Amino acid sequence: MTLLAIGSVAYDDLETPSGKRENVLGGSVCYFSLSASRFHPVRVVAVTGEDFGAEQRQVFHGRPIDLTGLEQRPGKCFHWKGIYGENLNEAQTLETHLNVFEDFHPDLPEGYRQSPYLFLGNIDPRLQLDVLRQMSERPQWVALDTMNYWIQGASTALTQVLAEVDILLINETEARALSGERNLLKAYRKIRTLGPRILVVKRGEYGAMVLTEEGAIAVPALLLEEVVDPTGAGDTFAGGFLGTLAASGKLDLEAFRRAVITGSVMASLTVQDFGLRGLEVATEQDIKGRTQAFSDMIRTGGL
Gap between the Cα atoms of 212 and 197, Å rounded: 6
65-72 and 42-48 beta bridge pairing:
parallel
Could you tell me the smallest distance in angstroms from the CB atom of residue 264 to ligand AMP? Answer: 13
Could you tell me the smallest distance in angstroms from the CB atom of residue 302 to ligand AMP? Answer: 28
Query: Nearer to ligand AMP by C-beta: 189 or 273?
Result: 273
Could you tell me the smallest distance in angstroms from the CB atom of residue 71 to ligand AMP? Answer: 16
Query: Nearer to ligand AMP by C-beta: 81 or 189?
Result: 81
Gap between the Cα atoms of 232 and 122, Å rounded: 11
Query: Nearer to ligand AMP by C-beta: 179 or 270?
Result: 270
Query: Nearer to ligand AMP by C-beta: 87 or 183?
Result: 87
Gap between the Cα atoms of 146 and 200, Å rounded: 12
* Run of H or E residues at 184: helix 184-194
Query: Nearer to ligand AMP by C-beta: 28 or 33?
Result: 28
Could you tell me the smallest distance in angstroms from the CB atom of residue 250 to ligand AMP? Answer: 25
Could you tell me the smallest distance in angstroms from the CB atom of residue 295 to ligand AMP? Answer: 24
- Is residue 78 within 8 A of residue 8, CB to CB? The reply is yes
Q: Which residues bind ligand AMP (CB under 6 A)?
A: 8, 10, 12, 26-28, 80, 96, 122-123, 147, 149, 231-235
CB atoms inside a 10 Å sphere around CB 164? 18
**Would you mind telling me the total number of residues written for the chain in this entry?**
303
Nearest to 273 by CA among 281, 284, 285: 281
